[in-house]
């Protein structure tokens, strides 16, 4: 099977989806392929910070300027994905005064709105800050939902004619001499909407131009065509707490270091992050000490943090790019800027450009620059409108009000549904059908779940990133089965069971490093609910002739009490 397209975009993260949207809006025929879910790579493993640029105002002012510019753009075009929390760079007594002054000066030179606060003023903004905080710098940081934003870009790309294929892994690049003309893709379940782990197919997608936007995996893709893309993956742990201890982004105001940021996100707080170079972006150690270090260090800024429960932890991989000749050994020294590698100019191999480096906040700017580059290569004259055209869900700000009676939903479910859906709220929620809450922790209703199923098929993890269902305190313990039930009767029992198992396993990945105290009790409760009450550890439906379920063992008991070797007796079971 083969398919032709003008531009083939490899990678379904924020940059890849942004490129697909940009090119499709300019009238080009675009195909995007991603080996897993959208956001399955670096985009889905970040702390959700919408940068003001303050974090780079001392070390990388070019990146800082890009951040504040795109911060303002995203607030306009993606209002339903962004919460403008504001941010504080907090100085503790042991933190250097010189750096505080450099940070404030750097923010102002990069046109980042910033003002100095005393320790008392900072605690008026955030009462849970440590009592010995000396002072702080206030900046326009925000929190952004990377899942919602990435999906909105993909939806808009499709609305403009693009083809978006998830669960489609690139297994080879198509190269003829010094020309790359496409890629060979292996589908997990065939082209089109995923039907869930059914036998797949292989497809050759030919293209006039290929864009490698695979982030930390860009080097691996380049190697398929014998091209060297110098990406240095760097892992960092992030930890999700069960409550939102702060309503403002809290940054430690000191030179680079681990565990220096807290981002309020939805009903939780996300703590970040460490920075350690790794060899393989798919296979790296996840250490328990990293989680402990994160909580202990950030508790110095917000002491109440140590009293909260850790829901889960996850490790992200940054796609750092080191330009040749820099000789940098510390990953924190590598610029967060992005680079376009035109392989025709650099390597003498036409037909493909790689985009490497960068940050989530600047994804749209990155997409615009590479789209300009591709259009120039293809001789297409079309301007970019992505900085002014709202993303789906952000078109009508009036929909994002605080009314709670619409659609028959009670507070706070109506408010959270409207925040997630934005201007699509009426389209999705205005239904005559029963609309119960499926996920209690995140307030996700049946209408939202069914809307996501219409977009994602039986892939419950894709439904999760569209709705946040199963991402709350119980981590799916109380709602995974409810989500799976919504797949019936459109999908058969085997498909629904497979979807449920995959979703629950994905939730478990991030829990296993946070299992102590109350979280261990929660995990044990989830196990009891699923493995015993629902019998998922020994499902009769999976019994075989060689390994049947002995139903009599469940209620047969013993005919009479049997003596122990020590003379005692055991009662019947």
Q: What is the mean pLDDT of residues 324-341?
A: 65
Closest C-alpha to 314, from 241, 265, 217? 241
> pLDDT for 59-95, tens place per residue?
999 999 999 999 999 999 999 899 999 999 999 999 9
- 559: confidence class by pLDDT, cuts 50, 70, 90: very low
Residue whose structure tokens are 């195909």? 31
Closest C-alpha to 351, from 328, 378, 372? 378
> Which structure tokens are listed for 58?
């001392």
Give the residue with greater pLDDT, 569 vs 99: 99
| Neighbour-count burial for 152-187, b at 16+ CB within 10 Å, e otherwise | bbbbbbbebebbbbbbbbbeebbbeeeebbbbbbeb
- 205: confidence class by pLDDT, cuts 50, 70, 90: very high
Residue whose structure tokens are 């060979």? 184
Q: What pLDDT does 569 receive?
A: 41
Tell me the Cα Rg of the chain.
Answer: 25
Contacts of 98 (CB under 8 A, 6+ apart): none
Give the residue with greater pLDDT, 431 vs 478: 478
What is the pTM assigned to this prediction?
Answer: 0.84
Q: How far apart are CA 261 and CA 23, in angstroms?
A: 35
Q: What is the mean pLDDT of residues 197-208?
A: 87
SS3 3: strand
pLDDT over 60 (residue 554): no
Q: What is the mean pLDDT of residues 464-476?
A: 91
Which backbone phi and psi does 556 adopt, to 5 degrees? -75, -35
> Which structure tokens are listed for 410?
């009670």
Q: How far apart are CA 23 and CA 41, in angstroms?
A: 22
Give the residue with greater pLDDT, 190 vs 324: 190
Angstrom CA distances, 569 to 22, 79, 153, stand at 76, 69, 68
Query: Taking CA 254 as the corner, what is the angle to CA 253 and CA 256, rounded to the nearest 5 degrees?
Result: 120
Query: Taking CA 267 as the corner, what is the angle to CA 313 and CA 463, rounded to the nearest 5 degrees?
Result: 70
SS3 123: helix
Pairing of strands 30-33, 2-10: parallel
- Provide the CA 145 distance to its chain's centre, in angstroms: 8
Q: How far apart are CA 28 and CA 41, in angstroms?
A: 26
Contacts of 232 (CB under 8 A, 6+ apart): 277, 320, 321, 322, 331, 334
Q: What pLDDT does 430 receive?
A: 84
Q: How far apart are CA 385 and CA 474, in angstroms?
A: 41
> What's the count of helices (H) and strands (E) in the chain, helices before strands?
17, 24
Long-range pairs of 440-443 with CB within 8 A, sequence gap ≥ 24:
440/472, 440/474, 440/478, 440/479, 441/267, 441/471, 441/472, 441/473, 441/474, 441/478, 441/479, 442/266, 442/267, 442/416, 442/467, 442/468, 442/469, 442/470, 442/471, 442/472, 443/412, 443/413, 443/416, 443/417
Greatest CA separation found in the chain? 93
> Which structure tokens are listed for 543?
């019994």
Q: What is the mean pLDDT of residues 254-276?
A: 89
Closest C-alpha to 144, from 360, 400, 305? 360
Q: What pLDDT does 15 receive?
A: 96
- 516 cis-preceded (ω within 30 degrees of 0): no
């Amino acid at each position: 099977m083969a398919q032709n397209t003008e531009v083939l975009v490899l990678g379904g993260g924020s940059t890849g989806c942004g490129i697909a949207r940009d090119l499709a809006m300019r009238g080009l025929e675009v195909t995007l392929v991603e080996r897993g879910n959208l956001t399955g790579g670096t985009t889905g493993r970040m702390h959700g910070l919408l940068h003001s640029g303050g974090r780079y105002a001392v070390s990388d002012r070019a990146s800082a300027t890009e951040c504040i510019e795109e911060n303002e753009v995203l607030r306009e075009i993606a209002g339903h994905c962004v919460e403008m929390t504001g941010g504080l760079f907090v100085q503790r007594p042991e933190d250097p005064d010189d750096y505080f002054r450099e940070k404030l000066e750097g923010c102002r030179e990069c046109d980042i709105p910033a003002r100095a606060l005393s320790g008392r003023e900072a605690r008026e903004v955030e009462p849970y800050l440590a009592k010995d905080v000396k002072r702080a710098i206030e900046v326009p940081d925000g929190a952004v939902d990377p899942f919602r934003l990435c999906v909105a870009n993909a939806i808009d790309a499709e609305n403009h004619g693009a083809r978006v294929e998830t669960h489609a892994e690139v297994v080879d690049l198509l190269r003829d001499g010094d020309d790359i003309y496409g890629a060979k893709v292996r589908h997990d379940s065939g082209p089109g909407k995923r039907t869930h782990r059914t036998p797949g197919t292989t497809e050759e997608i030919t293209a006039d131009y290929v864009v490698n936007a695979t982030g930390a995996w860009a080097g691996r893709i380049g190697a398929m065509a014998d091209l060297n893309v110098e990406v240095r993956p760097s892992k960092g742990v992030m930890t999700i707490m069960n409550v939102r201890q702060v309503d403002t982004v809290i940054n430690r105001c000191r030179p680079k270091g681990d565990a220096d940021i807290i981002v309020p996100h939805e009903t939780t707080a996300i703590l970040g992050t460490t920075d350690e170079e790794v060899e393989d972006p798919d296979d790296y150690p996840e250490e328990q000490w990293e989680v402990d270090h994160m909580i202990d260090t950030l508790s110095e800024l917000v002491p109440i943090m140590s009293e909260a429960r850790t829901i889960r932890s996850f490790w992200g991989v940054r796609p750092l790019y080191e330009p040749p000749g820099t000789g940098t050994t510390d990953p924190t020294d590598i610029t967060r800027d992005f680079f376009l590698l035109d392989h025709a100019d650099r390597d003498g191999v036409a037909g493909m450009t790689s985009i490497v480096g960068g940050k989530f906040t600047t994804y749209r700017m990155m997409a615009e620059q590479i789209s300009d580059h591709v259009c120039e290569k293809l001789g297409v004259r079309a301007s970019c409108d992505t900085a002014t055209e709202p993303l789906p869900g952000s078109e009508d700000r009036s929909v994002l009000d605080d009314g709670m009676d619409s659609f028959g939903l009670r507070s706070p479910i109506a408010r959270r549904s409207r925040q997630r859906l934005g201007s699509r709220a009426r389209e999705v929620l205005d239904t005559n059908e029963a609309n119960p809450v499926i996920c209690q922790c995140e307030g996700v209703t049946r209408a939202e779940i069914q809307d996501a199923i219409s977009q994602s098929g039986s892939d419950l993890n894709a439904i999760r990133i569209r709705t946040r269902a199963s991402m709350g305190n119980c981590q799916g313990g109380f709602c995974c089965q409810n989500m799976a039930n919504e797949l019936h009767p459109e999908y058969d029992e085997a498909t629904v069971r497979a979807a449920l198992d995959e979703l629950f396993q994905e939730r478990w990945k991030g829990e296993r490093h946070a299992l102590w105290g109350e979280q261990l009790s929660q995990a044990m409760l989830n196990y009891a609910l699923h493995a015993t009450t629902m019998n998922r550890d020994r499902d009769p439906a999976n019994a075989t002739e060689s390994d049947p379920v002995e139903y009599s063992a469940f209620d047969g008991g013993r005919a009479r009490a049997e003596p122990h070797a020590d003379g005692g007796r055991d009662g019947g079971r």
